[in-house]
Structure 1
Amino acid sequence: MKAVILAGGQDTHLVPLVRTVPKPLLPVANRPMVEYVLSLLKTSGIKEVALAVNAADESYEEVLGDGRRLGMRLHYSREAVPRGTAGCLLPLADFLGREPFMVIHGSLFLNADLRALTEFHQERRAFATLGVRRTAGGSRDWHHLELRLGEGDRVEGIKVRDLSGREHLSPVPAGVYVFDPAALAAIEPGIYYDIKEQLLPRLRLDGKRVFACEIQGYCRNVLEMNDYLKVNRSVLRGEVNGYRFDGQIAEGIWVGRGSAVSPMATIHEPV
């Protein structure tokens, strides 16, 4: 299986941080956020990944290169004009081949069992599988759409979420998908085409098997500054299994390589 990371698009919620570097390359505990996702894909057996990026953006290749440093093979698909989260997949048809493939939003910080997602997709003989999280109606941490599920977690409806603050936990797209390669044929070429708002409804109307699989593990969509701070805090506190930030000398205090601390200094966490 191969994967695509959606790393293009413009972001205004994390200005000024994203003026010089795209959001997926922002550091989380001194490591680019997208590297955490790449490491997770590698652990899940996916070692060949394409990044859909803006045509003028050379920063991904400068930081990640061809992937050999990570033990992977990375490819870059450059968009001169935004094509949407589904439209940008069409130029990657040859790369993706004839096997199911995974798509992950570049704004997603994820530490979950992706093998469980791919196994679910195969067991259900699904045409498309959405990774989902359950969140309260008033939460704004996730996408503005929620799903209505039927027997076996088959998706029977997609609607705009109720943000009134109700405590009802509803399944919402988490930003990770598995598709049958034939799903590419449902994407209209030459126009902006979105996964959630156009491709998935189109597949359902065509009678295709679309399912939802709940993501087990750490999963946060970094939409704004508060999300970015929470992700960094979670990693530093050791709340994200498998991720460890070295250099801790006391509770809430880390010292980097080559640092010197005066014996007269008093340090108060967090630092």
Structure 2
Amino acid sequence: MTTEVRSNTGADASNEAGAALAERTDAVILVGGQGTRLRPLTVNTPKPMLPTAGRPFLEHLLGRIRAAGMTHVVLGTSYKAEVFEEHFGDGSDLGLEIEYVVETEPLGTGGGIRNVADKLRYDTAMVFNGDVLGGTDLRAVLGTHAEKDADVTMHLVRVPDPRAFGCVPTDADGRVLEFLEKTQDPPTDQINAGIYVFRREVIESIPAGRPISVEREIFPALLDGGRAVYGHVDYAYWRDMGTPGDFVRGSSDLVRGIAPSPLLEGHHGESLVDDSASVGGGALLYGGSVVGRGAEIGAGARIDQSVIFDGARIGAGAVIERSIVAAGADIGPRTVVSDAIIGEGAVVGARCELINGLRVWPGVTIPDHGVRFSTDV
């Protein structure tokens, strides 16, 4: 693999081209998934709306889109579609103009992109996977698209171990050569990072009204047809937020400033605590933990790399690590919650031990000492 190295002058020119193109680019965000890997958190809330570093996850991406200079956003929704419009409305509060397209039947990634075609205003569309927390320079991606006069430009991120992902090798000029499935011997460390820039005519050429995969069908067909598909390759922050562990780490990275968000500039640290929350004496909050509105943290509790949603209560001396406690849940004194999810309104009694991926569904009550892994009580 050969990496193209630009001079500073070339990079500046590319960034200027990206900034100019951003003003004439639609932002499309696919947010239709059911978030099954994050249940029970997504039973009542779509994954992109889960509180992440004090804001709905999607709001961080919208902030990056606005900062890059794009103002027209189309949300491709499906699961609990009404939640998005109820929260964001027309987008004016964020300095955006947001429109919504509801997918009534599952259409896959390619079908989901084609489904929003009628809402596009410009000849260029930047498509985002709503599950991904990223940090790439969006203007730079657009700059590559303009510089290469590409039909499609993909954001490719380099990762230390690409075996768990599909790989996308490119030539010395950045042109995509092929799309490879997961393999134990990948030929490149470049993986698909879930951001694509399309010419509008390419989107309109996707078959309408049926499920279709952009990765397995559309992109290979474009290569076979000789279309100009390029990669913008970098080492930017990238995390798929689909699992509980990744959700917790992503939120933590936002709080600590490892992952960028325009919404948190100047507010980084070991914890992010809403002004309306209460924290008892001797409680420790670190690891990029978040405490939501009206939440209560008891005296001597320890919260490590965890997300405490609005109105949750953590008892005195409890330990919460690498976990998520949903809205209104109540954790009893001296209880340990480690690598677990506690659903909305659940009640966990004193001196329980909930560890190793355990998930408590909304409204469930566990009595004092009701779940233990140790022999002592």
| TM-score, normalised via structure 1 length | 0.88
One-letter amino acid of the structure 2 residue matched with residue 195 of structure 1: V
Q: Distance in 2 between matches of 1:258 and 1:137?
A: 42
One-letter amino acid of the structure 1 residue matched with residue 61 of structure 2: V
Tell me if structure 1 keeps the 8 A contact 2:255–2:267: no
Offset at residue 243 of structure 1 (A): 5.1
Match of 2:315 in 1: none
- Calculate percent identity across the aligned residue pairs: 28
1:30 aligns with 2:54: yes
One-letter amino acid of the structure 1 residue matched with residue 283 of structure 2: I
Q: Distance in 2 between matches of 1:151 and 1:245?
A: 36
Match of 2:275 in 1: 257
Offset at residue 181 of structure 1 (A): 0.9
Q: Distance in 2 between matches of 1:55 and 1:259?
A: 31
Match of 2:141 in 1: 117
1:41 aligns with 2:49: no
Going from structure 1 to structure 2, the CA distance change for 1:240 and 1:253 (only over 3 Å counts) comes to: closer
Aligned with residue 283 of structure 2, among 264, 267, 270 = 267
Q: 1:174-193 alignment to 2 at 5 Å?
A: 174-193=193-212
Tell me if structure 2 keeps the 8 A contact 1:137–1:167: no
Larger deviation, residues 251-260 vs 177-186: 251-260
One-letter amino acid of the structure 2 residue matched with residue 269 of structure 1: L
Question: In terms of Rg, which structure is larger?
Answer: 2
Tell me if structure 2 keeps the 8 A contact 1:53–1:76: yes
Q: 1:70-149 alignment to 2 at 5 Å?
A: 70-137=94-161, 140=164, 144-149=165-170
Aligned with residue 157 of structure 1, among 153, 157, 178 = 178
Tell me if structure 2 keeps the 8 A contact 1:50–1:77: yes
Going from structure 1 to structure 2, the CA distance change for 1:266 and 1:253 (only over 3 Å counts) comes to: farther
One-letter amino acid of the structure 2 residue matched with residue 188 of structure 1: P
Going from structure 1 to structure 2, the CA distance change for 1:246 and 1:149 (only over 3 Å counts) comes to: closer
Going from structure 1 to structure 2, the CA distance change for 1:259 and 1:136 (only over 3 Å counts) comes to: closer
Tell me if structure 1 keeps the 8 A contact 2:237–2:259: yes
Q: Distance in 2 between matches of 1:197 and 1:20?
A: 31
Going from structure 1 to structure 2, the CA distance change for 1:239 and 1:90 (only over 3 Å counts) comes to: closer
* RMSD of Structure 2 on Structure 1 (CA): 2.3
| TM-score, normalised via structure 2 length | 0.64
Offset at residue 194 of structure 1 (A): 1.4
One-letter amino acid of the structure 2 residue matched with residue 17 of structure 1: L
Tell me if structure 2 keeps the 8 A contact 1:145–1:159: yes
Q: Distance in 1 between matches of 2:95 and 2:256?
A: 27
Larger deviation, residues 40-49 vs 207-216: 207-216
Going from structure 1 to structure 2, the CA distance change for 1:98 and 1:30 (only over 3 Å counts) comes to: closer
Match of 1:17 in 2: 41
Tell me if structure 2 keeps the 8 A contact 1:48–1:74: yes
Q: Distance in 2 between matches of 1:239 and 1:256?
A: 20
Q: Structure 2 regions of 5+ residues with no counterpart?
A: 1-24, 287-302, 304-377
Aligned with residue 7 of structure 1, among 6, 28, 31 = 31
Match of 2:102, SS state, is strand
Tell which has more relative contact order, 1 or 2 (C-alpha 8 A, sep 6+). Answer: 1
Going from structure 1 to structure 2, the CA distance change for 1:255 and 1:212 (only over 3 Å counts) comes to: closer
One-letter amino acid of the structure 2 residue matched with residue 176 of structure 1: I
Offset at residue 2 of structure 1 (A): 0.7
Going from structure 1 to structure 2, the CA distance change for 1:125 and 1:268 (only over 3 Å counts) comes to: same
Q: Deviations over 1:232-261 (max 9, x none)?
A: 11122222344538888xx73554313455
May I ask how many residue pairs the two structures share in their alignment?
A: 262
Offset at residue 201 of structure 1 (A): 0.6
Larger deviation, residues 87-96 vs 58-67: 87-96
One-letter amino acid of the structure 2 residue matched with residue 267 of structure 1: A
